Amino acid sequence: MKRSMSVWPASLVVALAPSLALSQEPTKVGFIYFGPVNGAGWTYQHDLGRQEMQKALGNRVSVQTVPNTSEGPDGERVARELSADGAKVIFAVGFGYMREVLRVARENPDKCYATASAYMTGPNASGYNAKWQEGGYLAGLVAGKMTKANLIGFVGANPVPDVMLYLNGFVQGARSVNPKASVKAVFVGSWSDPPKEVDAANALMNQGVDVMTHYTNTPAVVSAADTRNVASISFHSDMRKFAPKRYLTGVTHEWGSYYTRMTSEALAGHCKGGLYFGGIKEGNIKMAPFSSWVPQDVVALVAAKSKDIAEGRLKVFSGPMKDNQGNLKVPAGASYPDAELGKMTWYAEGIVVGRL
């Protein structure tokens, strides 16, 4: 699904053949999903974005979604089928579609393609992703303020750069308000494996963590935490309905504006491949509503820091910053180079990695 990324400008210009702009028929738009559209998580958030785009553009578009499409050859097959069926804009919502979609794009220069989390592009093929560290920092502020044990639990899918951006951003936020806080992290080796996620969450709670967060696609972690009356912060979606007792907030990813802009530009006859990297400023990362468990001073703090990030006054990875082995990664007065974000595979100070 999500993997490493290079640094992406927060703009995307797209271009298509003039015939698309002049067409009187609804333009066909395809979405390829690797999983089902459940009530929360990665695919769910992207489908909410699809719905927002469809509502905004109305009868100018005709949209088809294809869920449960395995990344790799199956994705290529579906991309070809959508293209052959007349789709002029195709969004492949997963990193694992990248190379296959590029292949299809080269064979269909009159169509426009975009792949989530992709870093490779073509003349008519784009990639789009989020600034995971920004949401991580804000979530970390909440966790750092709310933990009484100074021990926070994190369940991750795989230790790849996208996940590391969130995790390292999270611990930076937590320790900025609570220098004694540490994060115990466990990886389950899958983007969506609820039983493993529950096992990992329970293992961490058995070690005394009193706030849980995650970078996985299901509500399993927040649900497991709620069962044991442990506070939780969700990722991707607002998951409060899965954790009604001790849910704090969540990092949500909003794709409606991107899908609307991308498709609108295509309808106008523009589709040039590029890279998009959106965060708080761009509206792609937001915090879910806070529960009554979160004090108002913490809510106000998150709002202030969110504004600072959006307006460029706060860089999440500012020095001095060390890794969890004590090596200086960012000197005082500097910030981590944007060009290196897609290569982040190290753990920041305050993170302890365990195994199931």
Torsion of CA 89, 93, 95, 98, to 10 degrees: -20
Q: Are 18-131+254-278 and 132-253+285-353 in the same CATH fold?
A: yes
In degrees and rounded to multiples of 5, residue 338 shows phi and psi of -55, -35
Environment class of 150 (CB within 10 Å of its CB; exposed 0-12, middle 13-18, buried 19+): middle
Please choose, from the candidates 38, 42, 52, the residue with its C-alpha nearest in 3D space to the C-alpha of residue 94. 42
Q: Write out the E strands in 189-274.
A: 211-215, 231-236, 247-253
Closest CA to 15 of 312, 332, 269, 347: 269
| Banded model confidence at residue 231, pLDDT cuts 50, 70, 90 | very high
Query: What pLDDT does 13 receive?
Result: 37
Place of tokens 């002029």: 88
Whether 252 and 45 have beta carbons less than 8 Å apart is answered as yes
What pLDDT is attached to residue 343? 86
Rg, the chain, Cα only: 20
Q: Is 70 exceeded by the pLDDT of residue 5?
A: no
**pLDDT score for 342:** 82
Fold assignment, 18-131+254-278 = Rossmann fold (3.40.50)
3-class secondary-structure state, position 123: coil
Q: Which of 348, 353, 352, 355 is nearest to 164 (CA)?
A: 348
Report the candidate in 161, 225, 223, 215 with the shortest Cα–Cα distance to residue 190: 215
Tokens representing residue 75 in the block: 């994705």
Quick check: 233 and 267 in contact, CB under 8 A?
no
Q: What is the per-residue pLDDT for 21?
A: 43
CATH code of the region 132-253+285-353: 3.40.50.2300
pLDDT at residue 213 in the model: 98
Residue 224, pLDDT above cutoff 70: yes
pLDDT band at 341 (very low <50, low <70, confident <90, very high): confident
CB 266 within 8 A of CB 57: no
Residue 177, both tokens: 């308000």
- In this prediction, what percent of the chain has a pLDDT beyond 90? 86
Q: Domain-by-domain residue ranges, the chain?
A: 18-131+254-278, 132-253+285-353
pLDDT reading at 278 higher than 90: yes
User: What would the pLDDT profile of 165-204 be if each residue is shown by its tens digit?
Assistant: 999 999 999 999 999 999 999 999 999 999 999 999 999 9
Least confident residue range of 121-125, 135-139, 269-273, 326-330:
269-273
Distance between CA atoms of 16 and 7, rounded to whole angstroms?
Answer: 25
Strands 321-322 and 328-330: antiparallel
Mean pLDDT of the chain: 92
Mean pLDDT of 11-15: 38
Paired tokens of 238: 């607002």
